[in-house]
Amino acid sequence: MQENTKNRHLWPGINIGRLQGERAIDETINEIMISRGMLLQSPGVIHWSIGPLVKNDSLLQNIFSGPYNQRALIPPSRWLSKKPPVSPALVKEGSILKIESKSEFNLVVVYYKIKSIWKYEIIPCDHSEIDVALLESLSPESGQIFISIVDRFGNESVLKLIDFQI
């Protein structure tokens, strides 16, 4: 990492087309997990070529039920922009939650707690509305959810608390 003087993202490429069958599954998952352990500042990998992944249903299922079972935010590209989006205003109108911000954003992150464990959902948002039923389906114990927005550079706003009755 000392060679990465500009602090850009560093994601190693892994070749998923070398092996077949169970060996391909084991090797791919092992390479993902080893990369995560070695590069704590830039956790992630690039798959090349993607062809074997889309042709191997078993490999695809094992990756998405294993190391990719939770969506993740791409780390911020701070060299492009360091300014986080303005924390959103949240307005509930019937079954719709309107998210208003002076900043442009393309993701909404919803944080909630179940059995003392914090979880999250990342929601792509090409508009500024979320169905409240989606939030209620997360089943937060306290009726409290925190929401943030993420801009195109990966910068996340300050969390905003929303209370609602389940």
Q: How many whole angstroms separate alpha carbon 130 and alpha carbon 120?
A: 15
Q: pLDDT digit string (tens) for 3-13?
A: 888 888 888 88
Judge whether 109 and 148 are in contact, CB under 8 Å.
yes
What integer pLDDT is reported at residue 166 of this predicted model? 45
- CATH number for region 89-163: 2.60.40
Judge whether 78 and 143 are in contact, CB under 8 Å.
no
- Does position 63 have pLDDT exceeding 90, yes or no? yes
Average pLDDT, the chain: 85
What integer pLDDT is reported at residue 162 of this predicted model? 83
Select from 135, 133, 148, 32 the least CA-distant residue to 89: 148
Q: Quick one: 8 exposed, middle or buried, by C-beta within 10 A (0-12, 13-18, 19+)?
A: exposed
- Domain boundaries along the sequence of the chain: 13-65, 89-163
State how beta strands 89-93 and 96-100 pair: antiparallel
- Averaged pLDDT for residues 38-54: 80
Judge whether 138 and 112 are in contact, CB under 8 Å.
yes
pLDDT band at 164 (very low <50, low <70, confident <90, very high): low
129 φ/ψ angles, rounded to the nearest 5 degrees: -135, 145
